[in-house]
């Protein structure tokens, strides 16, 4: 097993039961729900009824392995389900979105407001020729327009592809090109730790080469001057001024594409994960309501950026489909002070907080005095997502943020799964710190060995999903074969998650980490091949190999081994130059923490780089089997010279 810091977890015996006051009021109180979930098709058929459909489906699931069509024949619209259906009753004037900017500005949009703004913007998109099926790239900061833009696309049936604002112009360009987007929606800039970052500039650079983009719509967020190209660029506030406020929601086939979201895999090119309307919406609405125990009066805060799947499923689509009040914060957790999150919880009386282990470990490092100096008594449920949470961080979160009264839902899922697949259902599932507990009702998960055979309790192996689930990815954009090979080709008949896990004697699941060449840095998926590609793109580099090493706060950090081209002289700034090159090619999230220059990389006799050994070196642990090495002196050199950090 990889990542030794997860070893010994099965010794974690502490059990936390939901507080009585919590369970007796919970949305789900009856553990029988797990039995009902065993008949997954019927179970999901039942859940399908929670949405508004323009036309009823003919079949709950059409399964033509490995292609699923959920709610086949049904017609619906995601934006209609998030907005229109809430307008007839008391929710009409309920806050749908409470926004706080980093500089302290605030905006509240009721469901009616959001409906109007979405409809108007949908009309703007239509006026620029966007039709059902056309792709739209969204490259925006965490501002209400990001939600508006996503829902406007959904309303007219144009799949959006949101690109995280931290990605570089080259990464943005790749995604624009792969999706063939017609429109890019961006902002003049975004606030981060009091500074302004220009997004528009990146869009201009990305569009320097010929692409399919016809229009760039620019939200004025910071007042930073932006180069507006005549014909191509238009200000959002000007475009929307005269736009009509009525726009019918396009009836979409359940199986139509709702969005594409790019994520890293084993090979160099990020994959465009495609999600379809019907199954995705049923999956996220159901899990959002049950996992977060949603009540009408909740103030729900998911801290994830809109550029990641968590932002899609649990900031936008799930909560709004359920008529929740969502809180959205634009900026950094330590601006202007390290208590910003807790000030927000206190100010808006947040009841549900969903964040990532890396954030929790950062707060731990800053010290408990920040949360303890604020009134956090409104909180009643906490969530964690994106990477394994270590029991120590879990306990800290439980105690210092949750005041020992809030259950923690540790939710395991992926961009590809669209919805949470493993999690406690907080009113009924006892918690174990560090475990994502058990599969959600209606989801069939197993751990198998390398032959694909289920392993007994107490053992570990590869995490697979045995039956299709509603919000599973439909395909990889433009590449059905890659979809079939990557996810369904490893073990016969089942979906392979790419993760390794164990299960204990109680049947609780413990995620170990990725089994493939994906590194999870602060909950962000980074493909080693992508970083290696960025490094060898630098003129001085001959070869590069990257591995993930354990990092106290980020979970993992990128450690790169680089060999230089013949004749290159090493100078003082070279390492920083190489790191900066990765930032330009991908974005700062992929910047290696360590780069070690070496004359050679350890290879097998057939020339394959032995990453396993490099990982041992980066982690500073005893080396595994070295017998297949072509030249043992390479590894001996590395062993003696690399000083691993923790």
Annotated binding site for Mg(2+): 536, 538, 541
* Subset of residues 254 to 283 that bind ligand WTA, contact rule: CB under 6 A: 263
For the CB of residue 265, give the shortest distance to ligand WTA in the complex, in Å.
10
For the CB of residue 545, give the shortest distance to ligand WTA in the complex, in Å.
21
Judged by beta carbon, residue 190 or residue 415, the one nearer ligand WTA is: 415
Choosing from 48, 165, 166, 388, the residue that interacts with ligand WTA (CB under 6 A) is 388
Dist CA 546 CA 291 (whole Å): 36
Asked if 98 touches ligand WTA (CB under 6 A), the answer is: no
Judged by beta carbon, residue 99 or residue 413, the one nearer ligand WTA is: 413
For the CB of residue 195, give the shortest distance to ligand WTA in the complex, in Å.
26
Nearest to 392 by CA among 93, 9, 116: 9
Choosing from 179, 429, 520, 556, the residue that interacts with ligand WTA (CB under 6 A) is 520
Judged by beta carbon, residue 278 or residue 513, the one nearer ligand WTA is: 513
Choosing from 182, 221, 271, 525, the residue that interacts with ligand WTA (CB under 6 A) is 525
Dist CA 183 CA 215 (whole Å): 5
Choosing from 413, 440, 477, 491, the residue that interacts with ligand WTA (CB under 6 A) is 413
Choosing from 37, 278, 311, 498, the residue that interacts with ligand WTA (CB under 6 A) is 498
Segment near ligand WTA (CB under 6 A); pick from 19-27, 306-314, 364-372, 571-579: 306-314
**Beta carbons of 523 and 555 less than 8 angstroms apart:** yes
29: tokens are 């109180």
For the CB of residue 527, give the shortest distance to ligand WTA in the complex, in Å.
12
Contacts of 453-456 with CB under 8 Å at 24 or more apart are 455/503
Asked if 500 touches ligand WTA (CB under 6 A), the answer is: no
536: tokens are 């060898």
Nearest to 139 by CA among 165, 169, 168: 165
Q: What is the DSSP string of 503-556?
A: E-TT--EEEEEESSSEEEETTEEEEHHHHHHHHHTSTTEEEEEEEEEEETTTEE
For the CB of residue 524, give the shortest distance to ligand WTA in the complex, in Å.
7
What are the binding residues? 192-195, 310, 386-388, 410-415, 499, 514, 522, 525, 536, 538, 541
171: tokens are 């990464």
Please state, in angstroms and as integers, the Cα–Cα distance from residue 500 to each residue in 322, 359, 464, 510, 512, following that order: 33, 23, 9, 9, 5
**Number of C-beta neighbours around residue 332 at 10 A:** 16
Asked if 598 touches ligand WTA (CB under 6 A), the answer is: no
Asked if 436 touches ligand WTA (CB under 6 A), the answer is: yes
* Subset of residues 368 to 387 that bind ligand WTA, contact rule: CB under 6 A: 385-387
Q: What is the DSSP string of 562-581?
A: EEEPTTPPP-TTHHHHHHHH
For the CB of residue 356, give the shortest distance to ligand WTA in the complex, in Å.
9
For the CB of residue 565, give the shortest distance to ligand WTA in the complex, in Å.
34
What are the binding residues for CoA? 192-195, 310, 522
Our CA angle for 584, 589, 591, nearest 5°, is 60
Judged by beta carbon, residue 203 or residue 436, the one nearer ligand WTA is: 436
For the CB of residue 364, give the shortest distance to ligand WTA in the complex, in Å.
17
Asked if 309 touches ligand WTA (CB under 6 A), the answer is: yes
Examine residue 131 and say whether the peptide bond preceding it is cis (omega within 30 degrees of 0).
no
Asked if 511 touches ligand WTA (CB under 6 A), the answer is: yes
Judged by beta carbon, residue 190 or residue 497, the one nearer ligand WTA is: 497
Asked if 517 touches ligand WTA (CB under 6 A), the answer is: no
Asked if 125 touches ligand WTA (CB under 6 A), the answer is: no
Dist CA 418 CA 424 (whole Å): 17
Nearest to 40 by CA among 412, 443, 439: 443
**Beta carbons of 461 and 447 less than 8 angstroms apart:** yes
Q: Are strands 460-465 and 445-448 parallel, antiparallel or unpaired?
A: antiparallel
For the CB of residue 308, give the shortest distance to ligand WTA in the complex, in Å.
6
Judged by beta carbon, residue 263 or residue 563, the one nearer ligand WTA is: 263
Asked if 310 touches ligand WTA (CB under 6 A), the answer is: yes
Dist CA 411 CA 386 (whole Å): 8
Choosing from 102, 134, 410, 504, the residue that interacts with ligand WTA (CB under 6 A) is 410
Chain centroid offset of residue 47 CA: 24
Dist CA 128 CA 141 (whole Å): 23
Dist CA 535 CA 24 (whole Å): 55
x/- contact string, 544-583, with ligand WTA (CB under 6 A)? ----------------------------------------
Residue 329 pairs with which residues in a beta bridge? 100
Dist CA 340 CA 326 (whole Å): 17
For the CB of residue 520, give the shortest distance to ligand WTA in the complex, in Å.
5
533: region left, alpha or beta (phi > 0 left; psi from -120 to 50 alpha): alpha
Chain centroid offset of residue 240 CA: 30
Maximum C-alpha span of the chain: 74
Give the number of residues in contact with ligand WTA, rule: CB under 6 A: 22
Segment near ligand WTA (CB under 6 A); pick from 54-62, 214-222, 408-416, 577-585: 408-416
Asked if 292 touches ligand WTA (CB under 6 A), the answer is: no
For the CB of residue 275, give the shortest distance to ligand WTA in the complex, in Å.
12
Judged by beta carbon, residue 43 or residue 495, the one nearer ligand WTA is: 495
For the CB of residue 309, give the shortest distance to ligand WTA in the complex, in Å.
5
Q: What is the 3-state secondary structure (H, E, C) of 335-359?
A: CCCCCHHHHHHHHHCCCEEEECHHH
Asked if 152 touches ligand WTA (CB under 6 A), the answer is: no
Q: What is the DSSP string of 503-515?
A: E-TT--EEEEEES
Segment near ligand WTA (CB under 6 A); pick from 178-186, 203-211, 409-417, 439-447: 409-417
Judged by beta carbon, residue 110 or residue 556, the one nearer ligand WTA is: 556
For the CB of residue 323, give the shortest distance to ligand WTA in the complex, in Å.
23
x/- contact string, 217-256, with ligand WTA (CB under 6 A)? ----------------------------------------
Dist CA 441 CA 607 (whole Å): 46
Examine residue 480 and say whether the peptide bond preceding it is cis (omega within 30 degrees of 0).
no
For the CB of residue 355, give the shortest distance to ligand WTA in the complex, in Å.
12
Dist CA 301 CA 100 (whole Å): 11
**Number of C-beta neighbours around residue 422 at 10 A:** 23
Residue numbers of the site for ligand WTA (CB under 6 A)?
A: 263, 308-310, 385-388, 410-415, 436, 497-499, 511, 514, 520, 525
């Amino acid at each position: 097993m990889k990542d030794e810091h997860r070893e010994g977890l099965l010794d974690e015996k502490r059990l936390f039961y939901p507080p009585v006051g919590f369970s007796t009021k919970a949305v789900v109180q009856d553990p029988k729900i797990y039995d009902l979930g065993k008949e997954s098709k019927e179970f999901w058929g039942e859940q399908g009824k929670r949405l508004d459909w323009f036309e009823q489906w003919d079949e709950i699931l059409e399964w033509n392995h490995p292609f699923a069509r959920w709610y086949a024949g049904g017609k619906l619209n995601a934006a209609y389900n998030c907005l229109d259906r809430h307008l007839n009753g008391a929710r009409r004037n309920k806050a749908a979105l409470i926004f706080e900017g980093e500089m302290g500005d605030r905006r509240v949009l009721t469901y009616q407001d959001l409906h109007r703004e979405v409809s108007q913007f949908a009309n703007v998109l239509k006026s620029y020729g966007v039709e059902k099926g056309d792709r739209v790239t969204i490259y925006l900061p965490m501002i209400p327009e990001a939600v508006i833009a996503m829902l406007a696309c959904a309303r007219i049936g144009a799949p959006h592809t949101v690109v995280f604002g931290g990605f570089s112009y080259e990464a943005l360009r790749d995604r624009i090109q792969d999706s063939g987007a017609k429109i890019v929606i961006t902002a003049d800039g975004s606030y981060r730790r009091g500074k302004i970052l220009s997004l528009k500039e990146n869009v201009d650079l990305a569009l320097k080469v010929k692409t399919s983009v016809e229009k760039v719509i620019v939200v004025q967020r910071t007042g930073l001057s932006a180069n507006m190209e005549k014909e191509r660029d238009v200000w959002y506030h000007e475009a929307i001024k005269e736009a009509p406020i009525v726009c019918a929601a396009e009836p979409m086939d359940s199986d139509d594409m709702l969005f594409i979201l790019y994520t890293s895999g084993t090979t160099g090119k990020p994959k465009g994960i495609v999600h379809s309307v019907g199954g995705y919406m049923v999956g996220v609405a159901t899990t959002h309501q049950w996992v977060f125990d949603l009540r009408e009066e909740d103030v729900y805060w998911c801290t994830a950026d809109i550029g990641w799947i968590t932002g899609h499923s649990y900031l936008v689509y799930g909560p709004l489909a359920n008529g929740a009040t969502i809180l959205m914060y634009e900026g950094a957790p330590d601006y202007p002070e390290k208590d910003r999150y807790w000030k927000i919880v206190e100010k808006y009386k947040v009841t549900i907080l969903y964040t990532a282990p890396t954030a929790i470990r950062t707060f731990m490092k800053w010290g408990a005095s920040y949360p303890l100096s604020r009134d956090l008594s409104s909180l009643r449920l906490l969530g964690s997502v994106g990477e394994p949470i270590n029991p120590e961080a879990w306990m800290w979160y439980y105690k210092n943020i949750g005041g020992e009264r809030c259950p923690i839902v540790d939710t395991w899922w992926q961009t590809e799964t669209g919805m949470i697949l493993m999690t406690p259902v907080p009113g009924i599932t006892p918690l174990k710190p560090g475990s994502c507990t058990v599969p959600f009702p209606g989801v069939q998960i197993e751990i198998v060995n390398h032959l694909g055979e289920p392993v007994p309790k107490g053992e570990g192996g590869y995490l697979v999903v045995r039956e299709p689930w509603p919000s599973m990815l439909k395909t990889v954009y433009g590449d059905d074969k890659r979809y079939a090979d990557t996810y369904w080709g490893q073990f016969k008949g089942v979906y392979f998650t790419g993760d390794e896990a164990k299960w204990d004697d109680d049947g609780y699941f413990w995620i170990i980490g990725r089994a493939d060449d994906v590194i999870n840095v602060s909950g962000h998926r980074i493909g080693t091949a992508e970083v290696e590609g960025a490094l060898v793109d630098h003129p001085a580099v001959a070869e590069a190999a990257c591995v993930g090493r354990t990092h106290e706060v980020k979970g993992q950090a990128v450690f790169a081994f680089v060999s230089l081209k013949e004749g290159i002289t090493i100078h003082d700034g070279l390492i920083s130059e190489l790191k900066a090159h990765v930032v330009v090619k991908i974005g700062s999230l992929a910047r290696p923490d360590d780069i070690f220059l070496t004359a050679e990389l350890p290879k097998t006799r057939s020339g394959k780089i032995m990453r396993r050994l490099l990982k041992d070196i980066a982690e500073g642990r005893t080396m595994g089997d070295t017998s297949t090495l072509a030249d043992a002196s390479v590894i001996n050199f590395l062993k003696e010279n690399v000083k691993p950090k923790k």
